[in-house]
Amino acid sequence: MRRSITVFPKLTDKEVSAIVETRKQYARAFNMSVDCLVTNNSTSKRFLHKVQYERIKEECPTLPTGLIQCARDVAVEAVKTWNVKRTKLKQKHPKRAERMKRPSMKEKCTMRYDVRTVTLRGSQLTFSTCDRRIRTIILIPGFFTERYPETDGWKLKGANIGIDRKGRVFVNLIYECHDPVIEENKDGKIVGLDRGVYNIVTTSECVHYGAKDVRRVKRKYNHVRSVLQEKGTRSAKRRLKSISGCEKRFVHDQNHCISKKLANTDEDVSIYVLEDLSSMNMKRLKGKSNKTMRKWLSAWSYSDLEFKLAYKCQRNGIRVEFVDARYTSQKCCVCKTIDKASRKGNRYVCRHCGNSMHADVNAAINIRDSYITQTSKSGQAAVNQPYGWSATGKPETEPVGKTLTSKPSGLS
Ligand SMILES: [Zn+2]
C-alpha cells in the first residue's frame, strides 16, 4: 500500500537553478536509456547499465550516479508499458503501431528519486542535484504523520521532485507499508452506485449525493473565466492564474467527502458496485449531446471519485466491483425491459409494467442486480436477492443484434 504527500520546500534561487539543470540532464539520461533499449529490443536493467552507463556519464557529467540509475529504472518501466501497448495495438491497427512514438521525457519533467537520492531525517529533507545535495527543512502536515505513523510500518520509499506551473519546487514524498490484513465484510449488503452529472452518486438504497454545489461552483468559474479572458489585460491574466486550480480543488474536496461518507457508512455493506465507464467513448458521446451537456461532461470527474472510493473502502473491508455500463439507465429494474422512451427527465416510468421511480435509483438497482447475476452465473453465491425476481431464476435478457447507443447511466 502506498500513500503520498506533497510539500513545497523553500529554496534559494541557486538551489532552484540546480534543480532545473538536474532536470535537463535527467531527461537526457532517460531518453538515451530508452533509445538504447528500443534499438536493442531489450528491457533488461543489467544490459542497459553495461552498454549505456559510461556514455550517459560522459553526456551528463554532473548528474549523480544515483539519479542516472533512477532515470534508467524509469526508462525500463516506460519501455515495458510501451511494448505492451504496442503489441495490443498491433493486433488491431498494425500501421498505427509502427508509427507509435517511443517514450520520451522533456526538459520540464518530474524526476523520480529513490531512498539513496532522497532522505528525510526528522524534518530535514536532503536530495541530490547536479550541484550538490540540497538540505532543507520541511513541514509534513500533522494529519499525515498521525494517520500513517512509522510505528505502523510506514517508510519513505522515494520521492518525485519537479517544478509546477507556478514555478514552485514540489516534493511528492512516497510512503509505503505492507498491506495490512483487513478482513473483508462478507455478510453485508451489495449496494449499487449510479454516477451522474445531476446527482454525483445515487445508491440503490435511495440515497442521493447531489451535484448542486459542484455545478454552482463550476458555473461561477466558467463565467469568471470567460469575462477575464475577454478582457485580456495584465491584471486579468494575473487573476486567471490565481483562480486556476480553485475549481479543481473544490471538486476534489467534494469527491473526498462523498467517498468518505460511502466508505464509512453505518449500514452493513460488503460490496459497492459501480458501472464501468473506462471504455466510455467521450468523443462519440460529445457528438450526440448538446453544448451544455458537453461542457459538463468534459469536466466530469468520475475516475477521481472511483479512485478515492476504492482506497477508502479497502481500508474498511468493503470491496468495489464494476459491471458493464450499458442499458443501466434504460432498463426497468422490476420487469427488466429495455426501453429508452420510459425515461423522462429524472423519472423512470416503465411503459411495460408501470413501475415509477427516480431514474438514478432505477439505474443503481440495475447496476447492483447485474453484478448479482454476473456472480451467480459464474458460480459464486449471491449475497442478497434483487428486488422483484429471484437471483438464481431467470437470466437477464439482453437484446441480440439490436444496436442501441450505449450511454453511461445518468446521462441519457
Ligand atoms: Zn417495468
Q: Tell me what pLDDT residue 382 has.
A: 45
Q: 224: CA distance to ligand 1 center in Å?
A: 45
Place of cell 449499487: 192
Q: Other CB atoms closer than 10 Å to residue 138's CB: what's the count?
A: 15
* Ligand 1 center from residue 272 Cα (angstroms): 24
Q: How far is CA 72 from CA 21, 78, 104, 105, 163, in A?
A: 18, 10, 12, 12, 21
Give the start-end residues of each E strand in 143-263. 155-163, 169-176, 189-195, 199-203, 208-210
CA of 333 to the centre of ligand 1 (A): 7
Whether residue 333 contacts residue 375, with contact meaning beta carbons closer than 8 Å, is answered with no
pLDDT at 161: 93
**Distance (Å) from CA 356 to ligand 1 centroid:** 8
Q: What's the 334 CA to ligand 1 centre distance in angstroms? A: 5
CA of 341 to the centre of ligand 1 (A): 12
User: How much of the chain, in percent, has pLDDT values that exceed 70?
Assistant: 86
Residue 349 alpha carbon to ligand 1 centre in Å: 8
Residue-wise pLDDT tens digits, 61-90: 889 999 999 999 999 999 999 999 888 888
Q: How far is the CA of 338 from the centre of ligand 1 (A)?
A: 9
Q: Which amino acid is at 209?
A: Y
The pLDDT, as a whole number, for residue 242 is: 79
**What is the whole-number distance in angstroms between the Cα of residue 353 and the centre of ligand 1?**
4
What is the per-residue pLDDT for 237?
A: 87
Q: What is the pLDDT of residue 389?
A: 39
CA of residue 136 to ligand 1 center, whole Å: 65
409 CA to centre of ligand 1 in angstroms: 17
Residue 390 CA to ligand 1 center (angstroms) comes to 16
Residue among 189, 200, 208 at smallest CA distance from 358? 208
pLDDT lower than 50: segments of the chain: 283, 286, 381-412
* Residue in this structure with the C-alpha cell 439507465, named with its chain if needed: 329
Q: How many residues are recorded in the chain?
A: 412
CATH classification (class only), 189-211+263-377: alpha beta
Cα 332 to averaged position of ligand 1 atoms, centre (Å): 5
Hey, where are the domains in the chain? Answer: 2-176, 189-211+263-377
pLDDT at site 384: 47
Instruction: Say how many Å lie between the CA of residue 279 and the centre of ligand 1.
Output: 28
CB atoms within 10 A of CB 6: 11
For residue 379, how far is its CA from the centre of ligand 1 (angstroms)?
27
| Phi, psi dihedrals of residue 115, rounded to the nearest 5° | -65, -20
Q: Which residues surround ligand 1, an ion (CB under 5 A)?
A: 332, 334-335, 350, 352-353, 355
Task: Find the 366 Cα to ligand 1 centroid distance in Å.
Answer: 12
